[in-house]
Amino acid sequence: MRPWGRWSPLRAVAAVLGTAFALSSVGSATAQSAKPIKIGLGMALTGGLSANGKPALLAMQIWRDDINKRGGLLDRPVELIYYDDQTNPATVPGIYTKLLDVDQVNFVVSGYGTNLIAPLLPIVMERKLTLMGVLGLANNEKYKYPNYFQIQPSGPDPEANWAMGFFEIAGKLNPRPQTIALVGADAEYPRHAIDGARELVKTFGFKTVYDKSYPPSTVDYTPIARAIKAANPDIVFVASYPPDSVGMVRAAREVGLQPKLFGGGMVGLQYTSVMTSMGPMLNGIVNYDFWAPERTMMFPGIEEFFKEYQARAEKAGVDPLGYYLPPYAYAAVQILGRAIEATKSLDQQTVADYIRKTEFRTIVGKVKFGPNGEWAKSRVLMIQYQNIEGRLVEQFKGPGRKVVLYPEEFKSGNLIYPYSAAQR
Amino acid sequence: MVRTGGGLLVSLAVIVGGILLASLRVNLYFYFAGYVVLQYVVVATAWNILGGYAGYVNFGTSAFFALGAYTAIFLIEAFRAPLPVLILAGGLVSGLLGLGIGYLTLRLKGVFFSIATLALSVVLQTLIMNWDYVGGAKGVTVIRPGSPLFGNWVRLLFTVMVGLAVAAVTVAWIIERSWVGRGLRALRDSEEAAECMGVPTLRLKLFATTISGFLLGVAGAPFPYYVTYVEPSSAFNLDYAVNALAMPMIGGTTTWIGPVIGAVLLGTAQQVATVTISSELNLLIVGVVLVAFVVLAPEGIVGLVRRPRGR
């Protein structure tokens, strides 16, 4: 080994940095000589959102394979280049700069979730790129970037539209509920959802009897459920992430919290693993969702997609049904692909202009974007879990378990009211 | 031994090198990756002043880092303050926190001090989550002002981080060679013995927590402009605490060069792993390398290099 004195620290630093940069440059040279149309993305393959990130990636891979089987886009094969963003926004600038400058991708698609889209927007704005966002809530409200499009059907006013269905249902109930409890985690999405819900409480004229948040690290939800029970609300609106959604439902059951309407904005209840582990405990909950295997939701191509997805899901070790995020992840790249095909162009502006003015028929139905890049019309579903027996996954594949109550045009059944009636 | 004049010359050369590198306009990705590595040089060096020299293991690194970032966000939201002000203010606020925490917790020793710093991180994160002005739990989007130096924010931030890394290392180098460093080493080896010998241990520990906090805040202050979106869970990410500890342990905690070597090696390995093999390996790399060094080379790379020379 060389003595430390002759091997100066500065030279050591320079050598390591140089080696790293040289390695990256090799990747750059390889990328430049490739012919496929490259679509790049960072995706949460580890970290808090990986349970959704992995299925989303699988859905995009299915789209890539579908397209390539049909001869690719513009007679060129499609290649997906992706990196794990670790569910950490701080990794996003580096990953996307690598995708754009070293891998030289033609288009970028966002990773999953609001927090991972937020640091990407300034990068795409600076380079005037087209961006397909995957399930972000109100990301473009500050920037108003015209070439941003987001596939989650939140609608033109994402915060307010999010819980609209829940309040529409509550407002039409007979006898009409009077009081409401709002509860949510101190985290990004729940705060958005609760803010929107507060506005809707005023609009619909309910009386708030409980409005509190809890830290995301909470493990015991029974004190919260007891406090809500003590306030005796007619409606309980919960905005939560998967661990707290499960915690709240279990705690509500345990302390006998029986409002007339329960649910609203709980993330996680849509996951197959949660549905099968909770089983009949879900009966009666009215919650947001994006898709359910009901007759009103059978858009062209969706059954074929799920057939392929479910066949590959087990091997990939991801959500076996994939009803929540995968079809939307597929639709996001489907729209991008359609726009490239239709315009016969890889020019960012041309593709963005086409996406902005076109109504697309996708596997999640008709999609038309509004001025802020969100769906021109909200289609956040409100579903009620009904008739769940046991914990077998097969029951969730057919209709009647997640009954669509809202919006009216996709309604597939009636609300069982009050909440306790659905639990019998 | 490098003399003061030589050291300053090397520092200046590195800063000029950084400016030249920023002017080269090579692939932007290198600036992004370089920024992260240099940020870890500052963080690891700052941690080492308290953890390495004084032997007080701080698990609350992310709290100081995040406080720097959130001070910057507050100043951006309130006054659109320029970057140098953000860095200075971020450092000062985190330095003050270091001083305060020093007063409150330095009576605790060993693992109890570490637990107290971890608790600090949790408390601070909860406070930030409930402070809506800086985005609260929702996070905040930071819009960078137009026309930065070098024509691009990333190049500017890279150059700034080169300067901050040099400054942090210089501070560590000066401390190490001054009576302060000797005092810190004395209290690391035996606080009672140092006290008996007349070493002002409390003052030295407060100095170390303040300087360490200041540098961590300085590292966090440009973070909002780097990432453009800050929310508590990423600003208070445990990665900062783990890396801040792992990097000096790997490089060597007894000297200023140890954290630099550790940060450059581990930081670069993480950056390369993220975009080549799989970032799932990132934490695994940190964990395995850390365990390997703790078991096989407790004095880090510096110790490994010195051992054959009998130093």
Tell me: the pLDDT tens digits for B122-160? Answer: 999 999 998 989 988 888 988 888 777 777 888 899 999
In sequence order, the 6+-apart residues with CB closer than 8 A to the CB of B299 are B252, B253, B254, B306, B307
Residue holding tokens 């829940």? Answer: A166
Q: What is the mean pLDDT of chain B?
A: 88
Residues from chain B that touch A131, judged by Cβ atoms under 8 A, are none
CATH number, domain A159-289+386-422, options 3.40.1190.10, 1.10.287.1080, 3.40.50.2300, 3.40.50.720 = 3.40.50.2300
Q: How confident is the model at residue B280 (pLDDT cuts 50, 70, 90)?
A: low
pLDDT for the residue numbered B150: 73
- Kindly give the interhelix angle for B201-220 and B61-79, rounded to the nearest 10 degrees: 50
The share of chain A scoring above pLDDT 90, in percent, equals 77
Q: Is the pLDDT of residue B3 over 60?
A: no
The share of chain B scoring above pLDDT 90, in percent, equals 50
Q: Is the pLDDT of residue B16 over 90?
A: no
Q: Confirm or reject contact between B123 and chain A (CB < 8 A).
A: no
pLDDT for the residue numbered A213: 92
| A13:B306 CB<8 A | no
Structure tokens at B117: 């710093």
Please identify among residues 227-256 of chain B the ones whose CB lies closer than 8 Å to any CB of chain A.
Answer: 227-231, 233-234, 237, 239
Least Cα distance to B208 among B113, B75, B73 occurs for B113
Q: Is the pLDDT of residue B311 over 80?
A: no
ipTM score over 0.95, yes or no: no
Distance of residue B279 Cα from the nearest chain A Cα, in angstroms: 6
Domain-wise residue ranges, chain B: 11-237
Q: Is the pLDDT of residue A12 over 80?
A: no
The share of chain B scoring above pLDDT 70, in percent, equals 95
User: Which residues in B6-73 belong to E strands, given as ranges?
Assistant: none
Mean pLDDT of A113-141: 92
Q: Is the pLDDT of residue A239 over 50?
A: yes
Distance of residue B287 Cα from the nearest chain A Cα, in angstroms: 16
pLDDT for the residue numbered A49: 86
Least confident interval from A157-166, A194-203, A226-235, B30-39 = A157-166
pLDDT for the residue numbered A187: 85
Q: How far apart are the first and last CA of chain B?
A: 13
Beta bridge partners of A385: A402
Q: Is the pLDDT of residue B278 over 80?
A: no
Q: Is the pLDDT of residue A32 over 80?
A: no
Q: Pick the residue with more confidence: A47 or B166?
A: B166
The C-alpha atoms of residue B19 and residue A167 are separated, in whole angstroms, by 57
Mean pLDDT of A89-112: 93
Pure H helices in A163-301: 164-171, 188-204, 222-231, 242-255, 272-278
pLDDT for the residue numbered B287: 78
Phi, psi for residue B285 in degrees, rounded to 5: -55, -50
Q: Is the pLDDT of residue A2 over 90?
A: no
Q: Is the pLDDT of residue B29 over 60?
A: yes
pLDDT for the residue numbered B238: 86
- Kindly give the interhelix angle for A348-357 and A326-343, rounded to the nearest 10 degrees: 110
The C-alpha atoms of residue B110 and residue B56 are separated, in whole angstroms, by 7
For chain A, give me the number of helices (H) and strands (E)?
15, 14
Q: Pick the residue with more confidence: A173 or B6?
A: A173
Residue A247 Cα distances to A162, A269, A290, B274, angstroms: 22, 11, 22, 33
Mean pLDDT of B6-32: 78
Beta bridge partners of A240: A266
pLDDT for the residue numbered A8: 43
Mean pLDDT of A345-350: 97
When CB atoms are compared, the residue of A24, A186, A187 closest to B29 is: A24
Contact B271, B40 (CB under 8 A): no
Residue type for position B98: G
Least confident interval from A159-168, A324-333, B66-75 = A159-168
Please identify among residues 31-90 of chain B the ones whose CB lies closer than 8 Å to any CB of chain A.
Answer: 32-34, 36-37
Q: How confident is the model at residue B300 (pLDDT cuts 50, 70, 90)?
A: confident
Beta bridge partners of A237: A182, A263
Mean pLDDT of B78-85: 94
- Cβ-Cβ contacts under 8 Å between A and B: the total is 146
Least confident interval from A133-147, A225-239, A294-308 = A133-147
pLDDT for the residue numbered A17: 40
Least confident interval from B108-112, B206-210, B300-304 = B108-112
Contact A276, A175 (CB under 8 A): no
- Kindly give the interhelix angle for A9-33 and B257-275, rounded to the nearest 10 degrees: 10
pLDDT for the residue numbered B209: 94
Domain-wise residue ranges, chain A: 1-29, 34-153+302-368, 159-289+386-422
Residue holding tokens 């094969």? Answer: A77
Mean pLDDT of A25-52: 73
Q: Does domain A34-153+302-368 have CATH number 3.40.50.11540?
A: no
The C-alpha atoms of residue A176 and residue B285 are separated, in whole angstroms, by 58
pLDDT for the residue numbered A16: 42
pLDDT for the residue numbered B10: 79
Mean pLDDT of A48-71: 94
When CB atoms are compared, the residue of B10, B27, B237 closest to A28 is: B27
Residues from chain B that touch A98, judged by Cβ atoms under 8 A, are 29, 32-33, 275
Q: Is the pLDDT of residue A110 over 60?
A: yes
Q: Is the pLDDT of residue A36 over 50?
A: yes
pLDDT for the residue numbered B310: 54
Q: Is the pLDDT of residue B217 over 60?
A: yes
Q: How confident is the model at residue A105 (pLDDT cuts 50, 70, 90)?
A: very high
| A24:B144 CB<8 A | no
Least confident interval from A363-367, B103-107, B254-258, B261-265 = B103-107
Identify the residue among A2, A6, A17 best suited for mutation to test binding to B, counting B beta carbons within 10 A and taking the highest. A17
Q: Which helix (H) or strand (E) holds A38?
A: strand A37-43
